[in-house]
Structure 1
Amino acid sequence: MRDKQLDRVRRENPVADQGEYDESYAEASLAFALARLVYGLRTQAGITQTELARRMSTTQSSVARWESGGSLPTIDLLDRLGRAVDVRLELVASPSDTTAPKDTGDNAVAFGAR
């Protein structure tokens, strides 16, 4: 039933600008992935949003926005997140081709807990 409704909505509201749509979709996907990361690290550490905010010198509402995908944490905030939950985070650059071997070598940066 839901698929039929979704198909109907898509027919009634075609994408006007595919490039803009793709860009928005990519941004939303990143926000969702980072939201899952923040939530997962916080709950794995067994702390509340308020405690994480205190450890990161920020506000509970900021943590809530990251966890809901409402805003994207900066690299500085991800560094503070890693330190707050004692986890080393890595930013890795890899080819767009997902079948290519993943050589992190000079294409990775670690931050957070040391």
Structure 2
Amino acid sequence: MTKISTLHKRWLKEPSYKKAYEQSRVEFEISKEIIEARMKSGLSQEELAARMQTSQSAIARLESGSSLPSMRTLAKFAQATNSQIQIHFKPIKTPRQKITA
């Protein structure tokens, strides 16, 4: 069986896949963080749902990355997983611009 990471690397060579991935990058990164935090807390989707007073299917949707969660949902998630929210903005790597005086 092929790992998804291997397929992802292969698919990134295709312009249409790469474009779609880049357009959804934030959702994918948040989804990855959510899944990792749940797993580190040792909770199943069902256990997390109970702590957040929601359904297991809502947790599955949250982890799917299909849409961005609200800050309220993220706050409930952080409390349920005994974690904290941190948001960082990183500069995009671009060629250095010459400064002329």
TM-score normalised over the length of structure 2: 0.64
Where structure 2 has 5 or more consecutive residues not aligned to the other structure, the ranges are 1-6, 95-101
TM alignment of 1:16-95, pairs within 5 A: 25-93=21-89, 95=91
C-alpha offsets along residues 46-97 of structure 1, whole Å, 9 cap, x if unaligned? 1110111111122211111121212221111111111001111122345446
CA RMSD of aligned residues (A): 2.8
Residue 43 of structure 1, CA deviation: 0.6
Change (3 A) 1:78 1:27: farther
Count of residues in Structure 1 that have an aligned counterpart in Structure 2: 83
Q: Which residue of 1 aligns with 2:99?
A: none
Among the aligned pairs, what percent are the same residue? 30
CA distance in 1, matches of 2:23, 2:70: 14
Higher strand share: 1
Q: What is the rounded CA distance, in whole Å, between the counterparts of 2:23 and 2:52 in structure 1?
A: 24
Scaled by the length of structure 1, the TM-score of the pair is 0.58
Once residues 71 and 22 of structure 2 are traced to their aligned partners in structure 1, the CA distance between those partners, rounded to angstroms, is 18
Q: Structure 1 residue runs of 4+, over 6 Å off?
A: none
Distance 1:57 1:93 in 2: 31
